[in-house]
Structure formats: C-alpha cells, structure tokens
Amino acid sequence: MQSVDRLNEKLPLTQLLPLGLQHVLAMYAGAVIVPIIVGQGIGLNAQQLAYLVAADLFTCGIATLVQTIGIGEFAGIRLPVVLGCAFQAVFPMISIGKDHGVGAIYGSIITSGIFVLIVAYFFGKLLKFFPPVVIGSIITIIGLSLIGVAFDNFGGGASAKAAGANGDFGSPQNILIGLFTLAVIIFANKYFKGFLQTISVLLGIIAGSVVAFAVGMVHFDAVTNEPWVNVVTPFYFGFPKFVPSAMFTMCLVSLVSMIESTGVFFATGKVCEKEIGEKDVVKGIRAEGIAQILGGLFNAFPYTTFSQNVGLIALTKVRSRYVVVTAGIILMTLGTLPKFAAIATIIPPCVLGGAMIALFGMVAVSGIKTLAVVDFNKTSNMLIAACSISVGMGVSITPQLFAFFPNSLKLFFESGIVSGSLVAIILNVFLNWSDLRNVVNPEMVLPDEHSA
C-alpha cells in the first residue's frame, strides 16, 4: 500500500511547482523541436510556426492530465508520466502534409486516435508476453537508446552536430558547461537533503544556464519577440481531410507508439514500485488514443507517453502523480503565454545534455535491476536479453541500416526501442512458449484502497 499512497501523495504547492517544472524541462527540448521540424518541413511561416509550438505545449498539457488524472475507470494509467509528440510520427506527418495538405495530417491523427481507442482492449490481452526478462530488456533499451540523445545535447545539440566543422559541436565550452551541470546535480544529491535534493535536476539546469549566460551562450531575443498571450483554438489550420493512405500510415505509427508506451508504463511502474496489470495498460493506451484525437482537433500532434521523465522519478524518488499533474498545468499555461514558453527554449543544449546523462542512465539502471531477478541459468532468457538489447542499441547507433526498406517497415525498424522490444517479445514467444501456455492470469495489479 505504501507505493500506492506515494503515487497519490498531495504535496504542498511550494513543492509541486518546482518539481513539476523539473518534469517540464526534462521533456521540453523534445516537445519544442518536433513542431519546429514539422512546421518547417511543411512550409509554415513564422507566425504559423509560433502557433504550432504553442498548440503543441497546450495539448501536451491536456494529454498529460488525461493520463495522470484519468477519466473514471475508462482511461488514464494514473502514473507520473508526461505525454509528448510521438517522434516516429514526425516524418510521416511531413510526407502527408507535402502530398495531401495540412488537413490530411490532422484527419489521419484523429483517425489513428480512434483506432487506438478501439484496439486498446485487445492490446491489453498481450500482457502475458511481458515477463521480467522482456520488461527488463525493454527498459534497459529505452535508457541506453536515450543516452545518444543526451550526448548530442551535451556536445551542443543536434543542429550543431549537423553543421559539422561550421558548428561548435563538442567544443570545450559546451563540454565544460555540461559537466558543470551534471556536477551540480551530483553534488545536490550527495549534500542536500529533503526538498532541495528532490529538485537537484532543476538546480543543475539553473546553475548551468547561469554559467552559460555569463559566457554569452544565452540570448533573450526569442523571449522579447514573442507575444504575451496566445489563444489555442481547434481547427486553426482548417478542417481535417480524411485520406485513406494517410490514415493507414498514421495507424501504423500508432501501433509503434503503443509498443513503446507499454515499455514506458512498465518502466514507470518499476521505479514507482507499482506492478502494472492488463487494466492499467488498457487505460494507459486509451488515454493516448484520446490524446491523439485532441492533437488532431487542436491542430497539434499525435501524443505518446515520454520515456525521458522516467529517469527523473528514479533520481528524485518523488512518485506523486500530482507532480506531473502540475507539469501538465504548467505546459497548458506555457501554451497560452508564449513569452514564458520561450524562456525554456533559451536553455543551451549542453546544459540539458548534462542533466540528461544522469536521467537517462537511471532508466537503464532500472532495467538492469529488473533483469537481476531473471533466471539467467536458462539459456533462453540469456538469448532474449542479449539479442534484444544488441538489436535495440545497434539500430539506435546505425538507423541508416534500413535505408532501403519501405517506409511502412522503417517505422518499426528505425527505432531502436521498438525494434529491440519486438525482438524481446518474439524471442520470448519462440523460446519460452511452454511457460507462456501455463500463464492463466497475467494481471499483476496491486490492490487498490477499495479492495484492501
């Protein structure tokens, strides 16, 4: 019961605000970069692009509230998880927008949300295919796959990396500031106690940003150029169009997101010490379906549960879902107050990278802890973990391996998390089928307060 109480712990507002802001900053770079990439890819002007960023933040907030607060017994996993745009949807959205127009993007997103709502029940029935060897492998893959993102930011960001010799990727300045940010987080965890220890990541980001400002890396132009208030309205870019090929493509993307989200549910449940059962998975997937429909209506994006924030829970040991409810409210507020939203965008990538090294590493360690209970005297379990982690990491390192595959298959194979997860599930079925046949009731939910 202790873990359930900690999930529902209502902290004072003076703690909820900084703790919620930590979660926002942990996912903010990913949340902002997606609308920028998509907006530029489909040819939006500066005003439209600014609106797209605001709409994304606002809808991220609503989607997060749906998942963390829940809608009765129908939807919402009620774990401290943040929702953001599904990265695997970025390039399909650009392709759909170029071929069929912006309206077709949002018609396909709405359709995929309805599709997720329908298949969520059947997806929950697959829970018996996620024993500890599969769950642990997937969580480990999630953490290790994200480390590449952390080091891209640590060196100066993806744009600096793409610029090659013309950029400052890997400059001593970036590395030193990133190391300083990480050192502050480690120092705060060792020497601070109580609340200050729980906001160690936020303290590290603030300290790193102050140093970056002192050496001229922080510029406030993005803040001064933004308006004070922005109203997010449905169908800003026009009414949706329902193009069959676009709808089918986005449903495929949703299947990929569902696989990835299931791994994140298990990872979050592990660090929160709550076992995840079939009903939890179904409600979590349904919430994502609702989030996708909202994304289509508000001309934003298809939303999925972000893995970036799991490490923050593991590091701070703060499991209250109301912290993430606060993060959802902050995201909605930022979506309506562009000047404040822009403040987070001026944080240098190297500062975020320093924080991400600790956060994403904690996710990988959580997966390793799960694998520690697996019987590796069975060669089959050894093969499942070895092959799935190798494939997940290999694909993350070399995604261009599948350059000649059809786009429908690339959705599955170009993501290390998804491909590694599929290998773990398929190998477990093949190698441990006799054990799976004997699983009668795979549900592993802790008793709630009503049944206790």
Q: What would the pLDDT profile of 63-84 be if each residue is shown by its tens digit? A: 999 999 999 889 999 999 999 8
Q: Kindly provide the b/e burial profile for residues 186-210, where b requires at least 16 CB atoms within 10 angstroms of the residue's own CB.
A: eebbeeeeeeebbbbbbbbbbbbbe
Better-scored residue on pLDDT, 230 or 183: 183
| pLDDT band, residue 289 (cuts 50/70/90) | very high
Q: Give the 3-state secondary structure of residue 388.
A: helix
* Residue 437 pLDDT greater than 70, yes or no: no
**Cβ-Cβ contacts under 8 Å for 283 (sequence gap 6 or more):** 70, 73, 74, 75, 76, 77, 78
For residue 390, the model assigns a pLDDT of 94
Phi, psi angles (nearest 5°) of residue 303:
-105, 145
For residue 148, the model assigns a pLDDT of 83
Task: Name the helix (H) or strand (E) containing 85.
Answer: strand 83-85
* Residue 439 pLDDT greater than 60, yes or no: no
* Residue 126 pLDDT greater than 80, yes or no: no
The two structure tokens encoding residue 224: 């001064």
What is the rounded radius of gyration, in angstroms, for the C-alpha atoms of the chain? Answer: 21
Q: Give the 3-state secondary structure of residue 306.
A: coil
DSSP 407-433: HHHHHHHS-HHHHHHHHHHHHHHHHSH
Better-scored residue on pLDDT, 257 or 115: 115
* Residue 448 pLDDT greater than 60, yes or no: no
Q: What are the CA-CA distances from residue 77 to residues 38, 46, 110, 317 (Å)?
A: 29, 37, 21, 19
Summarize pLDDT for 166-195 with one digit per residue, the tens: 778 889 999 999 999 999 999 998 888 777
Task: Name the helix (H) or strand (E) containing 180.
Answer: helix 172-191
With 0-12 / 13-18 / 19 or more C-beta atoms within 10 angstroms meaning exposed / middle / buried, residue 179 is middle
Q: Summarize the chain as % helix, strand, coil (round to 5).
A: 75, 0, 25
Name which of 41-50, 119-128, 238-247 the model is least confident about.
41-50
High-pLDDT (> 70) share of the chain, %: 91
Q: Cβ–Cβ contacts within 10 Å for residue 48, how many?
A: 15
Summarize pLDDT for 85-110 with one digit per residue, the tens: 876 777 678 878 887 888 999 999 99
Better-scored residue on pLDDT, 406 or 210: 210
Better-scored residue on pLDDT, 123 or 213: 213
For residue 210, the model assigns a pLDDT of 92
High-pLDDT (> 90) share of the chain, %: 25
Per the document, the length of the chain is: 452
Mean pLDDT rounded to a whole number for the chain: 83
* Residue 451 pLDDT greater than 70, yes or no: no
| pLDDT band, residue 449 (cuts 50/70/90) | very low
| pLDDT band, residue 244 (cuts 50/70/90) | confident
* Residue 419 pLDDT greater than 80, yes or no: yes
For residue 452, the model assigns a pLDDT of 28
For residue 2, the model assigns a pLDDT of 44
Q: Which of 105, 81, 79 is nearest to 93 (CA)?
A: 105
For residue 29, the model assigns a pLDDT of 67
Q: Distance between CA 335 and CA 54 in Å, rounded?
A: 4
With 0-12 / 13-18 / 19 or more C-beta atoms within 10 angstroms meaning exposed / middle / buried, residue 392 is buried
Summarize pLDDT for 324-383 with one digit per residue, the tens: 999 999 999 988 887 776 676 678 889 888 888 887 788 788 788 889 888 888 889 999
Summarize pLDDT for 145-174 with one digit per residue, the tens: 878 878 888 998 877 787 776 778 889 999
